[in-house]
Chains A and B, each alone.
Chain A
Amino acid sequence: MNSNRWDAWPAQQPPPDFAERTVAAVLRERRPRRVLRRRRSAIVGAMAAVMVAGAAWGFTAWSGGRTAPARVPAAPPEAPTHVVSATRLPDAPASRDAGSEETAATPPPARRAPPPPPPPPSRPHVTPDAGRRVMVPRCECTADDVLCSCL
């Protein structure tokens, strides 16, 4: 059977502006996709940044709590040092003079010595009495005794 016989079967022809309309549809479809992709990548980027920042903050807080030395109670604020001038003002009231003298009499607070370094953790703490039995003297006092040396 010859193929030419079938060619009499008509086919629908595309309209003249079909290509233009199709290309316009393709370009229309591509544009919002690009915008959406850009918007989506911005959101994903922001979320990733927040997650990284949160993770960094959490790690810092966690590792700081574990490795930092025990918190030393804050030292009381040092007493304000009053500088007493050698030359006394003639019109200063007596009560103020007394206070100044008292302040001057008090010795300056001793400087806090730096805490001793902690012993190395691997070395066990050995005392001279380690392993010895502790003998506690028996108490001979009675209830009537007014003074008891055992206590």
Chain B
Amino acid sequence: MTEPAICITPEPQVASAELEAALLAACRRGDAASLRAFVVRHQDAVFAFLSRTLGAGPHVEDLAQDVFLRAFRALPRFDPHGPARLSTWLLAIASRLAVDYRQKRRIPTQSLDEGALVRASATPETERRRLEIGRALARAAAELSDEQRDVFVLAEFHGLQMQEIAEVLSVPEATVKTRLFRARERLRHLLKDVWDER
């Protein structure tokens, strides 16, 4: 069986510090083009995090917009030379919003538009298999606790280190390690059949 095509969530490209600082300064001034560039640069990561931790649906778009609104409000206080990266800072805002949203209501999730996920270069068989795996992953992730899923998504999909995850979620690093270990173990168990099939 061929290796299924991988849908890699595009991470924001690492820009030079000067470029990032200049973009931030322009955003603080309220320059529309810079604000748009900022959103375009980070929107995929924010959408990926929210949709994977909360489930896909229209609420993701609302929350993502809220993330950017809050980020622009708090932008004057963000120190580009500080310890937190801009993407990590945005994910921290997103995770707090996700926690609030979970507490407020049960989220009506919907399956993703599968047509939108089909890659032009993939064969129909490959795509079918990829979608199956994706659905199995989503189901397995839904079995995790919210805390475990947050840690897992941040570690596996956004490439954050333990310390960064601890900062984003405002929990001790040891807690992050424990949650990540348990999440991986549980997913390994739940997806055993899927991996064996591959």
Interface residues of chain A, those whose CB is within 8 Å of chain B, are 1, 3-15, 18-23, 25-27, 29-30
Say whether chain B's binding surface is mostly helix, strand, loop, or mixed: helix
Q: In the docked arrangement, what's the CA distance between A11 and B50, Å?
A: 9
Number of A-B contacts (CB under 8 A): 92
Over the window 83-117 of chain B, the binary record of Cβ atoms lying under 8 Å from chain A Cβ atoms (1 yes, 0 no) is 00000000000000000000000000000100011
Given A10-B134, A12-B47, also A1-B184 (CB < 8 A) = yes
- Which of A1, A5, A26 is the one whose CB lies under 8 Å from B35? A26
B39 and A10 contact, CB distance less than 8 A: no
- The verdict on B9 contacting chain A, using a C-beta distance below 8 Å, is yes
User: In the complex, what distance in Å separates the CA atom of A33 from the CA atom of B52?
Assistant: 34
Size class of the contact patch on chain B? 35 or more
Interface-forming stretch among B12-20, B60-68, B162-170, B171-179? B60-68
Q: 26 pairs across A/B with beta carbons < 8 Å?
A: A3-B157, A7-B157, A8-B6, A8-B7, A8-B130, A8-B133, A9-B141, A10-B7, A10-B117, A11-B7, A11-B44, A11-B47, A11-B157, A12-B51, A12-B57, A12-B112, A13-B47, A14-B43, A14-B61, A18-B64, A18-B65, A19-B39, A22-B65, A22-B68, A26-B35, A30-B30
